[in-house]
Amino acid sequence: MAKWTTDDIPDLTGTRAVVTGANSGLGLRTALELARHGATVVLACRSADRGRAALDRVRAAVPGCDVALGSLDLADLASVRAFAEEQGTYGLDLLINNAGVMALPRRTTADGFELQFGTNHLGHFALTGLLLPALLDRPGARVVTVTSMMHWLGRIDFDDLDGERRYGKWTAYCGSKLANLVFAKELDRRAGGRLVSVAAHPGYAATNLQQAGPRMAGSRIGEVVQGLGNRLFAQSDAAGAQPTLYAATTSDVRGGQCYGPRGPGQSRGAPRRVPTLRGAEDPGLGRRLWEVSEERTGVTYDALPRPA
């Protein structure tokens, strides 16, 4: 489907979706298209003000849509638990694990984890596990976890997950996005067909992520350079959201796969199934990441059988 566009999304009436990081960029575009095609959508946002602005934007674009705002800070497990307790009382057809941070100076989450690994992976691991009963309540439910083409450069350093001995902002980012991919594949293995877990990535898409790191580091030059790169080379956030929407809604999607742009270097273009780092397929790596994630978050997926 080389020319797949959001016009090919089927009617989603009766589908309930949660989109993390829906206040801007890829998350907002994803939520908007799901709502446009009839889904009930929860915008899971950290900032109440930006969340309300996004809610207003979706309602203005899709009059009469069924959207709501939820408070979720993936860098705080107490917030993750509170959100899941509120939203887990309803069946859930789609969980879009989209929110993330990129290439930041070293910071820690409320629970003491390195911020990128803690937000991008551990927060989503905990959220998915806590919402698992709601997902299993809906036949055919899907979990789409957003990774990055930068996962190809990633390595998960289990001996220094919090970057206490050595920290590189891009090293930490790439490792966290590899963790997203490994998690998506391991979840699908463990689910055994009870739900579909896939990964997606946007290629090089213009969002506020690229400038957040330099801004946090106080680098005006870096912020300008990243903004210029977005304008000159990146595809739009609407185009970047297409692989996620494809993975969430298309009938030929298969569990454990990754979907991204079909263009050069997977950087831009229409969505399709794309190859990923071979090591991400390793069940041993998936099992180790899963066990560490359970230990760190305290969240266990009791409804799924543990591998032998």
Active-site residue list:
173
Residue 273 burial class via C-beta count within 10 angstroms: exposed 0-12, middle 13-18, buried 19 and up: middle
CB 203 within 8 A of CB 149: yes
Q: Cα-atom radius of gyration of the chain, to the nearest Å?
A: 18
Distance of CA 142 to the CA centre of its chain: 13
Strand 16-20 and strand 94-97: the pairing is: parallel
Residue 224, amino acid: V
> What's the rounded Cα separation, in Å, for the pair 178 and 84?
25
CB 200 within 8 A of CB 239: no
